[in-house]
Structure 1
Amino acid sequence: MFDRRGKRFVKIVGVAVVMAVLLAVWLPGCGDDGDEGKQSVLVFGTGMSAGEGLNPNMIQFSFATANAVYEKLVTYDNAKAEYVPTLATSWDVSEDGLTWTFHLREGVKFQDGSDLNADCFKYSYDVMLNGPQAYKFTAVESMEVVDPMTVRFQLSYSYPLIYAISHAPFVVSTTAVDKLGDQAYEPGNRAGTGPYMVKAVNTTVETTLERNPTYWGGWEGDHANAPDILVIRMIQEAAPRVQNLTQNVVQLMHPVPETDVKTLQGNDKVQVHIQDTATCNVMHFNVNMEPTDDVNFRQALYYAVPFQDIVDIAHSGFAIPCSGFIGPNHYGYDKQLAEIGMHAQDLDKAREYLAKTKYPDGDVTINCIVDNAQAAGTRSMELYKTALAELGITLEVQPLDINVIFEEGMSGPKHNIICISKPGLADGVGTLEMDLQSQSLYNFTGWTDPRIDEIVAEAFGVMTKEPDKAVDLLLEADHILMDNMPEVQLAYAQSLSAASVDINYTGMIDQQFMLPDYYNLWFKK
């Protein structure tokens, strides 16, 4: 991760502190005549950090400002499984796949009143290359401004650049940056193009946004009923998050605890949205630490995993066992399922592999750290602890803040297992790249394989025009994973969110950043 001046640091801002002060909510059409002139407010209660480094191109996950304050050329809509033109209206790709040309949207103004142009994109791109998303652009040989509204990328090898462009960069106003420097990203300084502007930030607890009156999308029709103020509030504990929704203190929440879905579905004032995703809890085995440095021990750990119990108990049924890098909402999943199958517990095989290690009867203790904000992950590890006990292996589970976990993962793991929830990306190639590519910041295993790097490059090169070849390459990666077992994918978790029935909400549009479509949130009355 990086701070807003571009100096690298390894802390990813995540869940931090609990909710502070409750905010009174004014709804349009409610109250007496004395309410005229009051601003409508919508509060989004999230389990993630609500305020982080504000430069969108220098942080990995921008839960508060991504898509709301700052926009990209293209957005990936998870709900529709398609790329949506945003600050670019169209793009062209050469026959050999090496030249990509993007045409910017005319008439877009930044929140400071300056005009969107290709130079703003180039500046934002150059900044992003010093940030944590840079590894997605290794195929880019050069990027040039063709004219004020056109940019062109030249690639050194065929690669679906649209995938990278849907992640970064967020385009910022060079006028604001030239005038204010790093302060351009602070509340009130309006460096983005999005539908909302940063009004206030309370550390990691709460970010307050206000409507951008000149937003290029306009505020006509149903959008006229959009909230004037959008509050993104971090509520780490699940129970208060649910209570806040049922009491209308928040009007939108994510994630919904699996154990509360049925209760909320029975509440006529609440709408619950359940979406299939490729988001999954992943156990990363530290291959540089005993006893997980032994591949046979890692195989034993894999076969001991109670996959179905994790789905049924830890996720209350709102998940399916993993199969490989291709998620259930990705092209090629059925072929992967037929060839690899779903992961399943097999304690007899676990004992066979354990017998090949220095610990044939177990009699060893291993340790695990798990994200304390992901209840399903913690429950999964407790179920795993019980299963390993049958092999004589003691598992010590320590829930920690996600900041601490990422710091350890990036600086060199000190535990046998790191268990975290990884976001569902647009395709299996992106998942493989994030998990096991040698240069990925999120390969927490210490394990690398040159063939995995080759597969990532080859699959990206063919996935657009020859998706079946990309699937075959991912299946090869699945087999390499099974042979070496540097990590175990536990379960594909469904995205569970809920909202007041009084607002228009259609589910999470962005599964990487776990964000709603802010522009299409509005009050129905």
Structure 2
Amino acid sequence: MFALMFALLLVLGACSDSGKKESETDSKEDSTEKEPKTEEKAEEKGSGSTEVFNFATNQDIPHIDPHGTSANTSFRVTYMLYDRLVTYDGTTTDVIPQLAEKWDISPDGLTYTFHLNKEAKFHDGTPVTAEAVQYSYTRAMDVGKSAAGQFKDVINKDSFEIVDEHTINITLERPFAPFLKTLGTVFGNIVNPKLAEHHGSDLGETYLADKEMGSGPYILESWDRGQKLVMKANEDYWGTVPTLKTVNILIVNEPSTARLMMEKGEVDLIDYSMISPDVLKQMDGNNDITVLKSPGYAIDDIAINTEKEYLKDPKVRQALAHAVNYDSIINDVLLGGAERIGGIIPKGMFGYNPNIELYDFDLEKAKALLKEAGYEKGFPLEIAISENNEVRKNIAVMMQSDFKKIGIDLQIRALAWPTFLDLVTSGQHQLALAAWTPDYPDPDYNLWYFAHSSSKGPGFNLAFYDNPEVDKLLEEGRSTVDESVREKNYQKIQEIMSADVPYIFPAQRSVEAPMKNWVKGYEINPMNTWYVPFQKMTKE
């Protein structure tokens, strides 16, 4: 998504007066620091209690309907509020049991039988049943947004057979090799069927936009949009009850403010996408701060809207690809915390094609291609980025300077995260700079969202790319369980896209997250780099 990691998406947005509110809080704490600590004061300070955790991000949260959102900022929350049949944990990309204690797969790869944990309960105390699984997946398909894309042509409303209260058969329309992996994503979250009482005219989307009906380790306590979202530990959780009793997701608009808060001990962990690499180097090892470093599947991407004027021509898109200074981005902006990548499949994942030819930074070649396309004198362009992200801004400014040398007047449009999402999913952009992390470790995930014609717009094909050959290869890759065929198809798709250039991929990033030394149990998954396992973390 952005997960645009989006994986989608390491992008930002916050209320303009959030910095003011934080400074007022700081003043209050300073004036009362000698008073006896009460539970309320400890919670206000956050790091004053080992049971209270403050996480700072400048990425606002659009809404928290697990079947309707496509924002990583929302995923970070919904992963805590809901459970799935299977899940991911730690630094591996293997699925492990969650609501499903075990499962069986038929020899033909079509029928999956899930045996549910009989102790699992929703937050209102009702049991998690096979009916809840059927309801959740059916609703995801009916809502018709990002989650529906995951299930499209894989299952339908007739795919379910409830064997008993805690056993369900799910029969696929055709074999789909990554099916089990998909159920560990946020789109596989199981929702309390009592949501039907609040369906209204939109299947409960309005209701779940700022409420939750899950069974996860945390419960939503409050949400002051643009300021703070508070989760409380589910003391009746059917699994291990979290040690961190309160998790505050703080929307801190300015990275410099978040840094100061961490140095003062008011923030325990900062969103890894928020702090620029040069500042991370300054923070590491000082003021009881450690920068955790880990490999990642996050890929920076520039979506080129292939339906827009100028950009319809592949030669123009190739010219743009030659006008990006990749080495400078990696060495000067990311300070070596990344490597070149030729497509949306990250190095280390099944299906990665190491033989994709990388576009070199060659302004003369870019000029020649523009001349061939009939645009020797250049043209104006606009690139959309999320505001308050120094790395995105620096990349865009570098592109602006280099594009000018080939006659392209590139204007930078910085937007709050929700506004950015609305712009790019509705196709109103020309170029869009973001990033992507996969929700499950299979090339189908990245390529289907980025390249299949059915994923245009809200499905996160932000290039509005439409290539029948690519569609056919993707569909075949989904329908066979022969891994050799799948690998061949995915590598071929990367070759085609390299020539078509619907996207430019500046870099595959490693992940660096600043945290206080007292934080324990934080692990970065290379796939879900934005996922924070609050439920298993502690503070010493």
Could you say which TM-score interval applies, normalised by the shorter chain? Answer: 0.7 to 0.9
2:52 is the counterpart of 1:41: yes
Secondary structure of the 1:325 match is coil
- Kept in 2, the 8 Å contact 1:510–1:516? The answer is no
* Pairing of 1:438-477 with structure 2 (within 5 A): 438-440=453-455, 441-462=459-480, 466-477=482-493
Secondary structure of the 1:82 match is coil
The structure 1 residue matched to 2:530, chosen from 503, 514, 518, is 514
* Pairing of 1:401-412 with structure 2 (within 5 A): 401-412=416-427
Aligned position for 1:209? 231
* Pairing of 1:258-337 with structure 2 (within 5 A): 258-267=277-286, 269-333=288-352, 336-337=353-354
Aligned residues: 497
Between the aligned partners of 1:132 and 1:93, the Cα distance in structure 2 is 26
Q: What is the TM-score normalised by the length of structure 1?
A: 0.86
Between the aligned partners of 1:163 and 1:373, the Cα distance in structure 2 is 34
The structure 2 residue matched to 1:236, chosen from 221, 236, 253, is 253
Which whole-Å deviations, capped at 9, do the CAs of 1:202-260 have from their partners, x for residues lacking one?
013211111111112234xxx5xx22211111223221122211211111111232122
How far the C-alpha of 1:307 sits from its partner, in A, is 1.0
How far the C-alpha of 1:132 sits from its partner, in A, is 2.4
Between the aligned partners of 1:521 and 1:15, the Cα distance in structure 2 is 26
The structure 2 residue matched to 1:192, chosen from 204, 214, 225, is 214
Aligned position for 1:127? 139
2:84 is the counterpart of 1:72: yes
- Kept in 2, the 8 Å contact 1:300–1:351? The answer is yes
Which amino acid in the other structure matches residue 430 of structure 2? N
* Pairing of 1:2-81 with structure 2 (within 5 A): 15-18=13-16, 19=18, 21-22=21-22, 35=38, 40-49=51-60, 51-61=61-71, 62-63=74-75, 65-77=77-89, 79-81=91-93
Secondary structure of the 1:109 match is coil
Which amino acid in the other structure matches residue 477 of structure 2? A
- Kept in 1, the 8 Å contact 2:12–2:58? The answer is no
* Pairing of 1:152-231 with structure 2 (within 5 A): 152-159=169-176, 160-167=178-185, 168-175=187-194, 178=197, 191-219=213-241, 226-231=243-248
How far the C-alpha of 1:432 sits from its partner, in A, is 0.9
Q: 1:32 to 1:215 in 2, by over 3 A?
A: farther
Q: 1:455 to 1:237 in 2, by over 3 A?
A: farther
Which whole-Å deviations, capped at 9, do the CAs of 1:167-204 have from their partners, x for residues lacking one?
223212234764898597598x8732111111111013
The structure 2 residue matched to 1:417, chosen from 431, 434, 443, is 431
Q: 1:179 to 1:436 in 2, by over 3 A?
A: closer
Q: 1:190 to 1:359 in 2, by over 3 A?
A: closer
How far the C-alpha of 1:381 sits from its partner, in A, is 1.6
Between the aligned partners of 1:110 and 1:13, the Cα distance in structure 2 is 32
Aligned position for 1:109? 121
Gapped regions of structure 2 (runs ≥ 5)? 2-9, 44-50
Aligned position for 2:387? 372
Q: What is the TM-score normalised by the length of structure 2?
A: 0.84
Gapped regions of structure 1 (runs ≥ 5)? 2-11
How far the C-alpha of 1:78 sits from its partner, in A, is 6.8
Secondary structure of the 2:160 match is strand
Which whole-Å deviations, capped at 9, do the CAs of 1:413-446 have from their partners, x for residues lacking one?
3x43122222334232211111111111211223
Moved more, 505-514 or 162-171: 505-514
2:513 is the counterpart of 1:501: no
Q: 1:58 to 1:289 in 2, by over 3 A?
A: closer
Which amino acid in the other structure matches residue 14 of structure 2? A
Q: 1:31 to 1:504 in 2, by over 3 A?
A: farther
Secondary structure of the 2:486 match is helix
RMSD between aligned residues: 3.0
How far the C-alpha of 1:144 sits from its partner, in A, is 2.7
Between the aligned partners of 1:242 and 1:468, the Cα distance in structure 2 is 47
How far the C-alpha of 1:412 sits from its partner, in A, is 2.6
Between the aligned partners of 2:208 and 2:526, the Cα distance in structure 1 is 22
